[in-house]
Structure 1
Amino acid sequence: MEVITILFVTNDLDYAEAFCDCITAENRSILLTVLSEKAFKEYRKLEQFHLIVLDFMISEQRGDFVRLTEVKKEAEVESSYSQKDLYRYDTAENLSNRLAFLYCLKTGNTFIRPMKGSGTIIFFCSASGGTGKTSVTLGLAQDLARFHGKRVLYINYEELESTNQYFKVQEEKTLSAYLYYAEVGNEFNKWTEAFTVSNEYGIRAFSASKGRNPLKLLNVQELAKFLEWIQKEASFDYILIDGDNSLKEETLWLISICDNFCTVNGEQDEKQEYYDQYVEHCLGTSILDKRIEVINGFKGKEETEPEKDPQKIYIDYDESSFFIQEEGGSFVTRLDIGRDFGMGIKELSTKLTLILQ
């Protein structure tokens, strides 16, 4: 599964939002960046994009561009699929397929259409470290597995994996081992189960590898291939990816292809505004439509509690929801979502369920 990077230049922001939503919903392998005509003329890194698509009102003449037209007959001259004029109001499927074809024509690559409906991907990230992002991710995983009967895979994408703090360690069941056998093997069936551990709620996870997280060594194309392997099994209803606070190309790609992403922050995090602005700059305004904001460790008291934003999920600070338990000679952290911490987790689970219906 290749990743197609496309720059879309338009002055119609409403259309840009609809265009990005429809194209990426049709094909997660397409990563779109939106610029206005003015910003485009000042941009100096055009070589990073596979394709540059100009909307009909853009007057730029230089370069090898794909153009959107408002008149259908202009887009069908000679009925050639390789024509670089695309009808602006065509279906999302047709536009997506045409863009994929033009990408293949330009690069010589073989395009593999991504799979659909084989596991909802939720990506968790934060502007700062130490926000309790992992606790929120695993709390949601527990709620989905215990109370909704969902099959959940937890994937840690932090620089140093913290999985072993929450799951019993089995050194042979690591991401490193999975990546090796997935690359050289021919059968996908039951691979994930063979290389993951499970807790008492049936949540599956890879044991932490020694040293740096092996997923951090993968580029965008390799990450795409990894997720394709996972989804090809169709073994999971939800794939929860516990990210970090970086905004590298790979993280931005994960945000762009996930079904929803959650930003997890403390009550006051000044970095979050800049984080959001950068994500919006790179991926377009519409990307924030699939974001859920979580405020973790909320300490408000009834008499002094600040006004809550109804668009955000607030999870109360509650140390009693976490405890250490011995399991098979090792100690793991357990989460009790039946307490105050779990109230916010249930609210997050409900919101996600409604969004994804």
Structure 2
Amino acid sequence: MENMKLAIITKDREYGRALGFALINAYKNFTVTLYQSEPIHNQLEAFDLVLTDIPIEKRGNVIFLVEKPSMVERNDEARDFKLYKYGNVRHLAGELLFIYSQLTGRKALPIKKQDMKLIAFCSIEGGTGCTAAAMALARELSRFHDQRVMYVSLEELESTLDYIEGFPEGKSISEYLYHLFNEDDTARLPFIESFLVFDDHGVEAFLPSPGRNVLKSLSPEETQRFISAVMDTGRYDALLLDLGSSLDKNALSCYEMANHICMVANQEASMSKEGRFIEYLTFLKGEKLTERIVKIVNRFQKMDQEVEAKEKIGAREHEELMRVICRLPEDPASFFLQGGLKTIRSDGAYGKRIKQLADVLMGSAVI
């Protein structure tokens, strides 16, 4: 990854120290030097970026920290940058990385991870809890498995901001795609951190654009290029794709790339729709792909013996097509809103089964 030298100039020493530590925590390749006044003898020329909340000589790499959001301004052409000094520090770090890449033409140096997991979540119909399961797994992997995780929704109307707070002034996935597919700009693709949002558990996602999910407008080739670009950053251990009930060409291209395809369903017995789903994928992509499909039964309730017997009879026709690796219980108490965002308890019945699912998918448990 790119190493960046930052200078912070502020008379408020405590603020400067707090900002410096927070920036290093947000991006480990920052190095920070603190000054309480403008240094002499051109010392600032040694730094990639200079952050200051006091008046100093304007240079191309100087970023002024302002007191109010209304004072924020950025003019790339004139190299005039003003950022809010009390905003979210990870958002500030993303802005600094973007400005740095625009000024220097440099980009992140990828260190590819050979063991990165690509996990696709899907369903054959809406309302099965596909998104909740994907997000719960993402948080489990991030919190308890020490994994760097990105969640990507490819649903028509995505739910990312139901779970992760966005930045109104942040750069969205539309801007990232513009840089990715602009041939003249490919070699200068900005740091991915500039386009991300994140939750308290460490899960990251692209800031969605308003309206329809822009990823739905990509061709299959563009979708695979987008996913490959995310993987090539070397930033993540796991990438979770939320495909919903889509079977369009984009979804099929994601299935081709996935290590695991998790079908989320509301009932134990394989329905005829699931059988047709498997047959359709087998016809289009071959048996090798369908071997990677596993089933997650959501809202599972313990059945009495008579109902269980009927379920087993109904399941026999397709029992070899869909291997059940997890049963997520009906557990309303584990789902609640906190600060307007959807939250899932990790210590409830649902969360405990998600832990088992994580162990299976990460290869530390066997079904």
- CA–CA distance in 2 between the matches of 1:117 and 1:345? 25
TM-score (norm 2): 0.60
Q: Are the aligned partners of 1:189 and 1:233 in contact in 2 as well (CA < 8 Å)?
A: no
Which aligned pairs between 1:165-244 and structure 2 lie closer than 5 A?
165-171=162-168, 172-184=170-182, 185=185, 186-188=187-189, 190-191=191-192, 193-244=193-244
Shift of 1:173: 3.6
- CA–CA distance in 2 between the matches of 1:313 and 1:301? 16
Residue aligning to 1:124? 121
Structure with larger RCO (C-alpha < 8 A, sep 6+)? 1
Of all paired residues, the percent bearing the same amino acid is: 29
- CA–CA distance in 2 between the matches of 1:136 and 1:347? 12
Q: Are the aligned partners of 1:119 and 1:237 in contact in 2 as well (CA < 8 Å)?
A: yes
- CA–CA distance in 2 between the matches of 1:117 and 1:304? 48
Indicate the RMSD between aligned Cα atoms, in angstroms. Answer: 2.4
Q: Check 1:116–1:201 CA distance in 2 against 1; reply closer, same or farther (3 A cut).
A: closer
Q: Are the aligned partners of 1:161 and 1:209 in contact in 2 as well (CA < 8 Å)?
A: no
Alignment partner of 2:152: what SS?
strand
Residue aligning to 1:246? 246
Alignment pair present for 1:297 and 2:295: no
Residue aligning to 1:312? 325
- CA–CA distance in 1 between the matches of 2:307 and 2:145? 32
The alignment covers a number of residue pairs equal to 238
Shift of 1:157: 0.6
Shift of 1:170: 1.8
Alignment pair present for 1:342 and 2:351: yes
Shift of 1:118: 6.9
Task: Between 310-319 and 201-210, report the one with greater CA deviation.
Answer: 310-319
Shift of 1:248: 1.6
Alignment partner of 2:144: what SS?
helix
Highest Rg: 1 or 2?
A: 2
Shift of 1:270: 4.0
Shift of 1:244: 2.1
Q: Which amino acid aligns with 2:144?
A: F
Give the unaligned 5+ runs of structure 1: 1-114
Q: Deviations over 1:162-197 (max 9, x none)?
A: 111101022434221221233344334632x21111
Q: Pick from 288, 291, 300: which aligns with 2:290?
A: 288
Alignment partner of 2:208: what SS?
coil
- CA–CA distance in 1 between the matches of 2:365 and 2:324? 16
Q: Deviations over 1:56-107 (max 9, x none)?
A: xxxxxxxxxxxxxxxxxxxxxxxxxxxxxxxxxxxxxxxxxxxxxxxxxxxx
Give the unaligned 5+ runs of structure 2: 1-111, 313-318
Q: Pick from 267, 272, 276: which aligns with 1:274?
A: 276
Q: Are the aligned partners of 1:173 and 1:197 in contact in 2 as well (CA < 8 Å)?
A: no
Q: Are the aligned partners of 1:128 and 1:271 in contact in 2 as well (CA < 8 Å)?
A: no
Shift of 1:300: 2.0
Q: Check 1:161–1:337 CA distance in 2 against 1; reply closer, same or farther (3 A cut).
A: same
Residue aligning to 2:255? 255
Q: Check 1:352–1:286 CA distance in 2 against 1; reply closer, same or farther (3 A cut).
A: same
Q: Are the aligned partners of 1:132 and 1:296 in contact in 2 as well (CA < 8 Å)?
A: yes
- CA–CA distance in 2 between the matches of 1:356 and 1:121? 18
Which aligned pairs between 1:61-100 and structure 2 lie closer than 5 A?
none
